[in-house]
């Protein structure tokens, strides 16, 4: 009953005109971000954080969350109409979505994707509602040792964010920890790695880092690519046939379950649930050989899993303060920029804010359904915009956004330097997500470590004599071992192909 009462208060807050407006704007902007091939939710969210700098914290988080799940749906449009995923999680949709578009059935594919996304996102949000208080109440028992172990779990996710090389992921994470050390020592107050620069006393702004790595770096990559060609096929109707509905309802339910449960596991990534969903539908189908030729189940399942994962991935962030994906790590940075620390204390100290944000997820899913289907022709027009114009506008927005962070040109310089670094890392196939994760978690982890050692008078035994701490360190070890085995298996597979 307490949960329902809190949710009711959150819905009342989410339906306030101001919050409703920013949820709407976030859905529109997120859809556009998802539509533009190569931008994706990570870069889009990082670029647009400064847009929320002057907003009320509640409105800011609502808008950024809407950009996140709006971008996840927007990627479907390019997958179906262009055969180029707007973000990685929509890549599997290209197989059957684009095939349906070539048959003149793009409208049916997009409608099923929108409805599946709505159902998956809404059910996952209900899961967040029911799990939030139980998980956060347990986490309230955490002291510095448990909090340090929890941060170790978070940092162990860098292996899950690795592309093909664990060494490259650890290199990126180490560089992020070095960046996190810049500024003032959190315990004794001494300067570290500031080199006499006053602008570095507060450390390097994580938003400038993220905007540079993902925003500027992405622009430099886009400048190298050719413009995409939009399929010039007329959308006959937006309404799926009766057979489409019959073939879609079961994949939508299965996709919801797959996306939700995988979303609860930090570090897995949005690509995994979509692939698992697609493989499951193919294996359960009576005609698996037709997958890839325009099967509606190949769109319904993965797209539902995509949005269910997006909303479920907020559970570890809200309850434990662990960002489970690069985009969620960016949103965590936005929380901290507004003086909020995600985790169990968030429900104690900012109950109204967190429940309003949770309720806004329901509102945002409704907005996406109402918004996207009638405006498909508009999204197609945006797809046809020249890349030179889009890149110029994004670059101008990045520069303006970096300057508004603190009114200093220093942040623009930081953003530009990390933009070049992001470009070089991408060319060298070094993942960027581990760097952002360690920049955010590094200071909190250091503070918890040093507080723990002060309690134990310098003994590390404190981490192995407390049950919760030991359990969390064990989870981190499992993450490390599992990710290492996965990467080793992938390398062996590549060698065998050669």
For the segment 200-215, what is each residue's pLDDT rounded down to a tens digit?
888 887 778 877 887 7
- Cα separation of 403 and 394, whole Å? 14
Instruction: Note the pLDDT tens digit of each residue in 167-210.
Output: 787 888 888 888 888 888 877 777 888 887 888 888 887 778 87
Q: In whole angstroms, what is the distance from residue 246 CA to residue 240 CA?
A: 10
Of the candidates 345, 414, 405, 378, the one whose C-alpha atom is nearest the C-alpha of residue 135 is 345
Task: Kindly state the tokens that stand for 479.
Answer: 């993450």
pLDDT at 40: 67
Long-range contacts of 255-258 (CB under 8 A, 24+ apart): 255/116, 255/120, 255/300, 255/301, 255/302, 255/303, 255/304, 255/305, 255/308, 256/119, 256/120, 256/123, 256/124, 256/304, 256/305, 256/308, 257/308, 258/301, 258/305, 258/308
Identify whether the C-beta of residue 16 lies closer than 8 Å to the C-beta of residue 42.
no
Q: Give the Cα separation of 139 and 411 in Å (integer).
A: 35
Q: Across residues 269-284, what is the average pLDDT?
A: 79
The model carries a pTM of: 0.69
Radius of gyration of the chain (CA): 22
Is pLDDT larger for residue 360 or for residue 150? Answer: 360
- Of 251-260, 284-293, 468-477, give the lowest mean pLDDT range: 284-293
Domain ranges within the chain, ordered by starting residue: 2-492
DSSP 8-state assignment for residue 211: I
pLDDT confidence tier of residue 402, bands split at 50, 70 and 90: confident
Q: State the CB neighbour count (10 A cutoff) for residue 89.
A: 32
Q: According to the model, what pLDDT value does residue 496 have?
A: 46
Using one digit for the tens of pLDDT, what is the confidence trace for 294-345?
888 888 888 888 888 888 888 888 887 777 677 787 788 788 777 787 877 7
């Amino acid at each position: 009953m307490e949960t329902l009462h809190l949710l009711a208060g959150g819905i009342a807050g989410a339906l306030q005109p101001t919050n409703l407006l920013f949820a709407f704007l976030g859905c529109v902007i997120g859809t556009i971000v998802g539509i533009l091939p190569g931008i994706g939710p990570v870069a889009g969210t990082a670029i647009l954080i400064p847009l929320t700098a002057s907003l009320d914290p509640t409105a800011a988080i609502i808008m950024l969350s809407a950009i996140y799940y709006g971008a996840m749906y927007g990627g479907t449009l390019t997958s179906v109409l262009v055969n180029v995923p707007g973000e990685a999680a929509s890549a599997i949709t290209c197989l059957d979505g684009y095939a349906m578009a070539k048959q003149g059935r793009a409208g049916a594919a997009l409608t099923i994707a929108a409805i599946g996304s709505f159902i998956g996102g809404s059910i996952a949000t209900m899961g967040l509602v029911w799990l939030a208080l139980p998980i956060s109440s347990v986490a309230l028992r955490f002291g510095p040792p448990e909090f340090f172990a929890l941060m170790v779990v978070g940092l162990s996710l860098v292996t899950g964010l690795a592309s093909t090389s664990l060494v490259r992921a650890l290199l990126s994470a180490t560089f992020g920890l070095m960046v996190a050390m810049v500024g003032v020592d959190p315990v004794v107050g001494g300067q570290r790695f500031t080199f006499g620069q006053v602008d570095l006393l507060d450390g390097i702004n994580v938003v400038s880092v993220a905007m540079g790595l993902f925003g500027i770096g992405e622009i430099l990559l886009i400048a190298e690519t050719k413009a995409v060609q939009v399929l010039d096929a007329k959308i006959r109707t937006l309404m799926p046939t009766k057979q489409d509905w019959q073939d879609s309802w079961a994949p939508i339910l299965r996709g919801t379950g797959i996306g939700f449960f995988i979303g609860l596991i930090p570090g897995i990534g949005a690509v995994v649930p979509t692939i698992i969903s697609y493989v499951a539908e193919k294996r359960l189908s009576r005609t698996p050989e037709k997958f890839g030729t325009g099967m509606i189940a190949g769109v319904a399942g993965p797209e539902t899993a995509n949005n269910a994962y997006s909303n479920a991935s907020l559970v570890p962030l809200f309850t434990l303060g662990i960002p489970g994906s690069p985009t969620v790590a960016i949103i965590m940075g936005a929380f901290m920029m507004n003086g909020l620390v995600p985790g169990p204390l968030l429900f104690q100290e900012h109950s109204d804010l967190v429940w309003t944000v949770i309720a806004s997820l329901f509102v945002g899913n409704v907005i996406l359904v109402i918004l996207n289907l009638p405006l498909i022709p508009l999204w197609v027009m945006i797809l046809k915009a020249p890349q030179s114009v889009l890149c110029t506008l994004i670059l101008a927005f990045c520069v303006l956004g970096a300057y508004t962070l603190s009114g200093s040109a220093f942040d623009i310089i930081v953003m530009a330097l990390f933009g070049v670094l992001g470009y070089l890392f991408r060319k060298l196939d070094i993942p960027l997500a581990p760097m952002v994760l360690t920049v955010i978690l590094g200071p909190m982890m250091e503070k918890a470590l040093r507080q723990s050692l002060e309690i134990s008078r310098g003994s590390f035994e404190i981490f192995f004599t407390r049950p919760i701490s030991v359990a969390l360190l064990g989870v981190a070890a499992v993450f490390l071992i599992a990710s290492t085995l996965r990467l080793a298996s992938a390398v062996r597979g590549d060698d065998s192909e050669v």
